[in-house]
Structure 1
C-alpha cells in the first residue's frame, strides 16, 4: 500500500503518518524499486492504534509505552490517571468559561456594560465621583475604590459579594448614606503619608465608626484580601499606606473576633 492508501483507510493525513515516522513511533516500511514506501496491513493497524490513542488524549511520546506488549500495567494505569485528571480540570475550566459567557450575554441582553463589575457599584461610584468633581484627591480615591472592586470581580467571577452590591445600591439611592460614605473616604484619605502614631486618634475613630455602621462596615469587609484568593495581592499590595492599612486590618480583626 502507498502512504495515501494508509492515510485514507486510517482516517488521517499522509503528513500525519510522516510525522509518526519522524517521531520514531511508526517504523519506516520497506521501499519499492521505485523508492516508494510499501506499507503492509500491520503498518495500517499500527497507524490506527496510534491515532486511537492520540485522540484519547495520550501524548505521542507515550504511545510506544502503551503499545509495547511488555509494558508495565501499573505504569500505564498511572499515566492514564494523570491524563484523566488533566482532562477533568480542563472540563472544569471550560464550564467556568461557559458560565462567564452566559453572564456576559445576560448583561448584554439587559443593556448593561460588558464587564465583571456589577452595574450597581459602578453606577454609585460614578454618582459619587460626579458629586465631588471639584476635589481631585477625593476623585482619585473613588477611582481607586472602583479599581479594587474590579479586581475583586475579575478574581472571583460569578461570586461577587451580594452584600456589597446591596450596600452600594443603598448608597446610590440614599443621599444621607452617600454623604456618610464620601465623608468616610475623605477622612480615610487624610491618613495617607502620615505615621500611624501621628494619627492614632483618627485611626481609632474610623475603626469605631466602621464597626458600628453596618453600611460603612460592609465597604471595608469587601476589601478583604481573602476575597481575591490565595494567589491574589496582599494587603500591602492593595493598601500600601501603613495608617490606612491599619484601619482595614483592625476592622477585619474586630469583626473576625465577633464572629468567633
Structure 2
C-alpha cells in the first residue's frame, strides 16, 4: 500500500517509455455514392394537384365531346327544318295559286250569273243563189256574238227592221236581186261583202229591239253559223232606238 509523499520530499519521477514510431496515415478511398433506385413519393398536396388537373382535363374533353355532339345534332335539326321550310313554302305557293284560281273561278261564275252566255244559231244552212237569203233576229238587252263561215263568198249585214223592209221593196221593184238589195240600204249598221268568215260582237241591241242579221250569196254556198248572245242590258237606249 502506497503512502502519500511527505511534504518537502521530491516527487518521484514516473518511468519513461520509448516513443513509438510515427506511421503515415492514408485516408480510406472514397467510394462512389450508391445509385438511388427508389424515389420518394411526392408530397400529398402535389398528388391532389395532379389529380385535379387530370380531372379538369377529362371534364374539358367530355364537355368538348358533348358540344361536338350537340353541334352535329343542331346541324341535323337545322337541315331538317330548312327542308321542312322549303316544303312549306312550296305548299304555300301551291295554296296561293289554288286560291287565286278559285277566286278567278268564283269571279267568272259571278260574271256568268250576271251575264249568262247562250248559243242561239249553230246549224249549217244553204243559200241556193243570189235570190235567197238567211235571216235571224238580234235579241235586245244582249251582246250579239256573230261568228260564221261559209263554203264560198257570202255577204252579211245587220239591218234595222225598216232597212229590211226597204230591201224587200228594192227586190220587188226590180232594183236588184236579194244579194244586192239587202246590203245597199242607207245607214246600215254593219256590212261584210263577199267574205267567207265573220267574227264580230254587236252591242247596239243591248238597249234596242230593232235589229236583224241577213246572209246572202252570189251563188250556192253553205253557211256554218256559231252565233251566241250574252245578257248585258244597257242602262239607256242604244243604236236606232
TM-score scaled by length of structure 1: 0.23
Larger Rg: 2
Kindly indicate whether structure 1 or structure 2 has the higher relative contact order, using CA contacts under 8 Å at least 6 residues apart. 2
Which structure has the highest helix share of the two?
A: 1
